[in-house]
Amino acid sequence: MKPEFHYTCINCGQVFPAQEVIYRCPDCARNDKAGEPPLGMLKTLYDYRAIRAGQTPEQSLKMLVQERFLPLLPIRRAQSLGYLKTGDTPLYTLHALDGKPTGCELLLKDDSQNPTFSFKDRASVLVSAFARERNISTLVTASTGNAGSSLAGICAAQGQQAVILVPATAPAAKLTQILMYGARLIPVDANYDTAFDLSIRLTEEFGWYNRNTAYNPLTIEGKKTVSFEIAIQTGLRLPDRVFVPCGDGVILAGVYKGFEDLLSLGIISHIPVIVAVQATMSDNLVRNFGCAEFECIPATTLADSISVDIPRNFHMARQYYQQYQGETMVVEEEEILNASRILSRNSGIFTEPAAATAFAGFLKMKRQGGILPNTRNLILLTGSGLKDLQAVQPELNIPQPVYPDAAHVLKFLNTLS
């Protein structure tokens, strides 16, 4: 029999049973203040002793792999996850940058290989599976693009209806995905935060299941699976640092939660240093980690997937960051675009600006002398560059056509050197 799980409020510690559909602690949610991150986020916890059941750490890890991590997921059957191959994304080692050794062991976890080309699929597939086991047919989310296209694609495969609310400024490529998957797309003449609040009102009015990041606790449970895979793919030789792009703090919390689950089972002995990387033009998460009072500066970064005014998972992300001595890094817009170019031409992986932000954080730390030669450093690449072609257009110079003969081609090539 599958061990049960329960939810615990990160603010007051109140426990909620797994049987009910719940998003946040209702008591703490009543204390929300305008302009500040919400309270009452829920952490999903398991009976780790029952899961171990006398097994050695090696046996526990083997069992988790064989069962597709089911003992550490809030669903009853692995079959509920559907047939799309979500997760188990490749881990690459990059040995050189622009012809020079990287100066350390550099690992790239490429989550653009998920079904809708985004890390968000890890959350969407679990939320969809949870709804499927409860015969819920309509799911809703607010999104700047990636979460919406992810939920739309997963729901298309699962025979569910997706309702996606997006700011009218969302990138066209992501809106195209949403429409092609057959979801109901609702552009909102407002920002993401307004779309988020509207999706919650629709959830309450129509009974739809809400996938919102930093609202539905299962989004963290889906995203944590990347940490399981990192542990497996590195043979439990964990990286010294994991660089994570951050917006609302859910990916950061998910990475921590996955390693924390493995720590609770005795499979690993420590959690890597997690580096939360944000754009300088959208640093409301990390800038406030050490502050007594939250201050919001409107986000304007080109990395739309991590452009967040009020990080809704701020309190959980900060708890993890403080408990496990995390690190932070902020990078400029030009550093993000430069990192995207460097990564593309050296690895063959074209990432969207939000994902390139993590790599930019690594490059900046390396320039500052913070990366030692004998360390292992992993970059979490969360989405394909094809998701947002517009952001990199200013950096490109598409050549004019040449006359189709060898002499003109040679002349053209000489202009490039």
In this structure, are residues 335 and 65 in contact, taking their beta carbons and an 8 Å threshold? no
Neighbouring-strand partners of residue 129: none
Residue 175 pLDDT: 86
Residue 174 lies in a domain: no
The DSSP string of 248-287 is SSHHHHHHHHHHHHHHHTTS-S--PEEEEEEETTB-TTGG
3 state SS of 115: coil
By C-alpha distance, which of 256, 280, 283, 284 is closest to 270?
A: 256
In this structure, are residues 198 and 165 in contact, taking their beta carbons and an 8 Å threshold? yes
**What's the chain's average pLDDT?**
94
Distance CA 268, CA 308 (A): 33
By C-alpha distance, which of 266, 401, 286, 282 is closest to 353?
A: 282
Distance CA 211, CA 231 (A): 27
Predicted confidence (pLDDT) per residue in 204-227, tens digit: 999 999 999 989 999 999 999 999
Distance CA 276, CA 242 (A): 9
Question: Parallel, antiparallel, or unpaired for β 91-97 and 100-110?
Answer: antiparallel
Question: Parallel, antiparallel, or unpaired for β 184-188 and 209-210?
Answer: unpaired
pLDDT at 3 over 90: no
Residue 163 pLDDT: 97
pLDDT at 2 over 70: no
Distance CA 159, CA 135 (A): 11
Residue 145 pLDDT: 77
The DSSP string of 167-236 is ETTS-HHHHHHHHHTT-EEEEESS-HHHHHHHHHHHHHHH-PEE--TTTSTHHHHHHTHHHHHHHHHTTT
Whose tokens are 């640093």? That residue is 283
Residue 111 lies in a domain: yes
Residue 235 lies in a domain: yes
Residue 259 lies in a domain: yes
Distance CA 417, CA 116 (A): 38
Predicted confidence (pLDDT) per residue in 11-38, tens digit: 999 999 987 799 999 999 999 999 999 9
How many CA atoms does the CB half-sphere of 93 hold within 13 Å? 9
Lowest-confidence region among 53-62, 154-163, 263-272, 319-328: 53-62
Which CATH number fits the domain that encloses residue 110? 3.40.50.1100
Residue 208 pLDDT: 96
The structural domain count of the chain equals 1
Q: Can you give the residue range of the structural domain that contains 388?
A: 91-116+220-395
In this structure, are residues 268 and 231 in contact, taking their beta carbons and an 8 Å threshold? yes
- Mean pLDDT over 305-334 rounds to 96
Distance CA 370, CA 367 (A): 8
Residue 65 lies in a domain: no
Residue 226 lies in a domain: yes
3 state SS of 383: strand
Q: Could you tell me what percent of the chain has a pLDDT over 70?
A: 99
How many CA atoms does the CB half-sphere of 114 hold within 13 Å? 33
Residue 352 lies in a domain: yes
By C-alpha distance, which of 264, 258, 288, 289 is closest to 378?
A: 258
Predicted confidence (pLDDT) per residue in 357-377, tens digit: 999 999 999 999 999 999 999
Most confident option among 224-228, 309-313, 387-391, 403-407:
224-228
- Mean pLDDT over 302-320 rounds to 94
Q: Residue 400 contacts by C-beta under 8 Å, 6 or more apart in sequence?
A: none
Residue 264 lies in a domain: yes
In this structure, are residues 396 and 345 in contact, taking their beta carbons and an 8 Å threshold? no
pLDDT at 144 over 70: yes
